[in-house]
Structure 1
Amino acid sequence: MSSPLSFARARVPALRTTMTGRDPSEGHRAATPLELLFDLCFVVAVAQAAAELHHALAEGHAGSGVVAYAMVFFAIWWAWMNFTWFASAYDTDDVLYRLLALAQIAGVLILAAGVPRAFELKDFALVTLGYVVMRLAMVGLWIRAAVEDPAGRAVARRYAIGITAVQAGWVARLALADSVGPAGFLVMVVAELAVPLWAERFRGTTWHSGHIAERYGLLTLIVLGESVLSATLAIQAGLDRGIATGKLLSVAFSGMLIVFAMWWLYFARPAHRILTSNRAAFPWGYGHYLIFASAAAVGAGLAVSADHETGQAHVGTVAASASVAVPVAVFLFSVWLVHVRPHRPGRLVDTAFLAGALLVLATPLTSVALPLIALITASLVAVGVVASRDAPS
């Protein structure tokens, strides 16, 4: 008679030692502990970028702060996204795979350490070093896939060649003058975005729609949590200074409702239903840059609003309110565009999202911007609930 332990071992799938494409219809395809660690470490860099954005906005340097934030966040998001889709298709969870994934985590921690210099000194050397470490580790994974997966060899080779070439471009960009640095950055972004389109032009990788939807959802949760933490720390700082005004409490309560509504709106519809092909997946995956970046920026904006109410920010009421309104509006529009609209939710939901984003942008012109933003986002949740009830089953 077999023991319960031997029965449990028999139920565990054998460890995959060859990197071949996984079955895209595989059942029970869930995020692994390594992927969860990957997300948590990447959010360290997100938190650094959001913190620096908070300081830049509070000091009245919105232009330079937003540009630096967009640049740093692209590096974090793109490296995360590339590993996520690769893992969905080729995860073996063996020693070599784990080591190359951990090397990418080391790279993002290097990047995180360079975020303050990027914002304050416009020095992107350390950020670039961390990024290149992540991307070259990704090249190692693609080379292994090219060697061990005959069916996907051509695709894997294109990825390895394309990523390596683009990394040389990122290093070369460091030699450009500051005046042309942003233009060079945009050129390199286009090159990065083009690599998957080129590599998977004739044959796509075998990613798993349910796994991808879960991975994106998990990062959304963590980024929203980081926003809550940023706002909480700013409010706590005000309370520690003995400042407990009604306006500060309004920031806290409104911020809580805004983040709750953002969570509800994102998770109202299952993403795996629309991830049916590369044609649907590419705009969905790429569009999440705006979703993730705006979600993290909301936390920075709430912190600026808290600083404003406690006299710590060097900006006026309109600017402080806009630091929340703009990222919330971007979040609403981007969630609607890539995450809600493909489900064909109906004219009521489509109109509500677009009108909601525009109304949020107008709230800084009022004296109660944050409560109004909370009301608008909560109203969108209500519209979605009503629409889902009225929709045919």
Structure 2
Amino acid sequence: MQAPGSNQRGAWQRAVLRDDADAHRPVGWVELFIDLVFVVIISVLAHGLEDSAHSEPLLRFVLQFVAVFWVWNGFTYYTERFESHGLENRLFTFLGILTVAGLAVWGEDGLGHNYLGFAASFLLARGLNMVMWLRAGRHEPRFRRAAAGFTAGYGASFALIGVSLAVDEAWRLALWGFAVLVDIAAPAVTARFQFGLPGISRDKFPERFGLLTLIVLGEVVASVIQGVATANEATDVSVPTIADAILGLAIGFGLWWVYFDFVARRPTKPDFVIALVWVYLHIAMLIGMVIVGVSISEALLSREEGASGTILPAIGITLVAIALLELTLDRAADEPTGARLSPLLKAGIGVALMLLASVATPYSATTVLSVGVAALAIPAAYGARVYYRHPARG
């Protein structure tokens, strides 16, 4: 099937709602290119989380990360609905890259002394997204009400952040948090306008989220390696540190294994609300993954017991999010994983890790990392057992 727009004449093409959810659509090179800029901002936010996972900066990180994720999701969802091969698509992408670059430049302490630059970059990103939605609604009558809903929601968020520029830091943080909540709630408000529209692609949209997850997992790997490198600069790296780094990389590999074997290979159920829940759950999962990477890096730098206290709860949050994600996925007739056993296994392990971490007794980094590896090995082993015994693995 040809993409809408491929039969249009001229370099500048109208916004046409795609109607090829069941057709194979590869991720385009221009989409991969804009994701490179998000690599930078995620790295900046992760760096800002170091040495602060037990204090207010953790809340700031979450608020910044959710905002950045929703900028990425806004561009991704527009492309999902209105992708074309015209010059307008490349122009919007480049303008989006500029706004995300601004988020990265002012991302460190972006809700503190860099707030003006970070907030202005976010507003520019949101303003661009609103222009894109208004253009889509103008050209595509079927999407007009949804576009108006998106624009109204993002406009309310836009106004709240605008007001936050004129108040003190305490109120600024509260307004930013409220604005982010309004921002991510906008699609839910438009849900009734999207019933009856063409479905979301069953391969490309999940693949985009898989690629973003790889970016975050790449940050986990980078955090582990940088932790070892920093430890080596301070004092010659020791055998225990190397052993812990191997365990840390094994945790990153285990997170990759569990997500891509149980979630990324399957589409969501063909329902807009369920797909939206799937998007929201990715936020929690990705935040958990970033915290895992930063926590492992800190554990490698500090050999004191208790320095790795956020690793297990972060893995637990990630596993619970993955378990809930499984419940949103479509099940083929030959799906080898258990509809209840598979998510319950991950949720149970995740809750157990969070309960274990709540015990006041401090644990050494090696103990915590070993527990993390063992926890991820259980669902990975379960997956290997059912997949390789089943001839029709997805």
The residue aligned with 2:142 is: 151
The residue aligned with 1:176 is: 167
- Aligned-residue offset at 1:208: 1.6
- CA distance in structure 1 between the aligned counterparts of 2:205 and 2:102, rounded to whole angstroms: 26
- Maintained 8 Å contact 1:100/1:140: no
The residue aligned with 1:332 is: 319
Structure 2 counterpart SS, 1:322: coil
Match of 1:306 among 300, 309, 316: 300
Match of 1:71 among 23, 38, 63: 63
User: Gaps (5+ residues) in structure 1?
Assistant: 1-11, 310-315
- CA distance in structure 2 between the aligned counterparts of 1:83 and 1:350, rounded to whole angstroms: 30
Q: Give yes or no for the alignment of 1:382 onto 2:384.
A: no
Q: Give yes or no for the alignment of 1:23 onto 2:16.
A: no
Q: Give yes or no for the alignment of 1:199 onto 2:190.
A: yes
Residues 37-86 of structure 1, C-alpha deviation per residue, up to 9 Å, x if partnerless? 111101211100001101434xxxx2122111101101110110111111
- Aligned-residue offset at 1:308: 0.6
- CA distance in structure 1 between the aligned counterparts of 2:15 and 2:128, rounded to whole angstroms: 16
Moved more, 174-183 or 274-283: 174-183
1:112-151 mapped onto 2 (5 Å cutoff):
112-118=104-110, 121=112, 123-151=114-142
Moved more, 241-250 or 281-290: 241-250
- Aligned-residue offset at 1:384: 2.6
- Maintained 8 Å contact 2:107/2:118: yes
Moved more, 380-389 or 320-329: 380-389
Q: What amino acid does structure 2 have at the position aligned with 1:54? A: E
- Aligned-residue offset at 1:347: 4.1
The residue aligned with 2:251 is: 258
- Aligned-residue offset at 1:236: 1.3
User: Gaps (5+ residues) in structure 2?
Assistant: 332-336
- Aligned-residue offset at 1:125: 2.0
- Maintained 8 Å contact 1:349/1:387: no
Q: Give yes or no for the alignment of 1:237 onto 2:225.
A: no
Q: What amino acid does structure 2 have at the position aligned with 1:96? A: E
- Aligned-residue offset at 1:392: 10
- CA distance in structure 1 between the aligned counterparts of 2:139 and 2:328, rounded to whole angstroms: 39
Q: Give yes or no for the alignment of 1:355 onto 2:348.
A: yes
Q: Give yes or no for the alignment of 1:274 onto 2:261.
A: no
- CA distance in structure 2 between the aligned counterparts of 1:386 and 1:250, rounded to whole angstroms: 28
- CA distance in structure 2 between the aligned counterparts of 1:333 and 1:372, rounded to whole angstroms: 16
- Maintained 8 Å contact 1:111/1:126: yes
- Aligned-residue offset at 1:14: 4.7
The residue aligned with 2:46 is: 50
Q: Give yes or no for the alignment of 1:38 onto 2:34.
A: yes
- Maintained 8 Å contact 1:45/1:111: yes
Structure 2 counterpart SS, 1:82: helix
- CA distance in structure 2 between the aligned counterparts of 1:125 and 1:31, rounded to whole angstroms: 34
The residue aligned with 2:221 is: 228
Structure 1 residues 271 and 169, CA gap change in structure 2 (3 angstroms):
farther
- Aligned-residue offset at 1:157: 2.5
- Maintained 8 Å contact 1:72/1:127: no
The residue aligned with 1:87 is: 79
Q: What amino acid does structure 1 have at the position aligned with 2:376? A: T
**RMSD (CA atoms):** 2.5
- Aligned-residue offset at 1:350: 3.2
Moved more, 290-299 or 70-79: 290-299
| TM-score scaled by length of structure 1 | 0.86
Structure 1 residues 277 and 304, CA gap change in structure 2 (3 angstroms):
same
Structure 1 residues 156 and 241, CA gap change in structure 2 (3 angstroms):
same
- Maintained 8 Å contact 2:224/2:249: no
The residue aligned with 2:154 is: 163
Structure 1 residues 281 and 346, CA gap change in structure 2 (3 angstroms):
closer
Structure 1 counterpart SS, 2:308: helix
Q: What amino acid does structure 2 have at the position aligned with 1:28? A: H
Q: What amino acid does structure 1 have at the position aligned with 2:374? A: L
- Maintained 8 Å contact 1:341/1:350: no
- Aligned-residue offset at 1:174: 2.7
- Maintained 8 Å contact 2:154/2:182: no
The residue aligned with 2:334 is: none
Structure with larger RCO (C-alpha < 8 A, sep 6+) = 1
Structure 1 residues 333 and 157, CA gap change in structure 2 (3 angstroms):
same
- Maintained 8 Å contact 1:114/1:124: yes
- Maintained 8 Å contact 1:258/1:378: no
Q: What amino acid does structure 2 have at the position aligned with 1:259? A: G
The residue aligned with 2:176 is: 185
Q: What amino acid does structure 2 have at the position aligned with 1:152? A: F
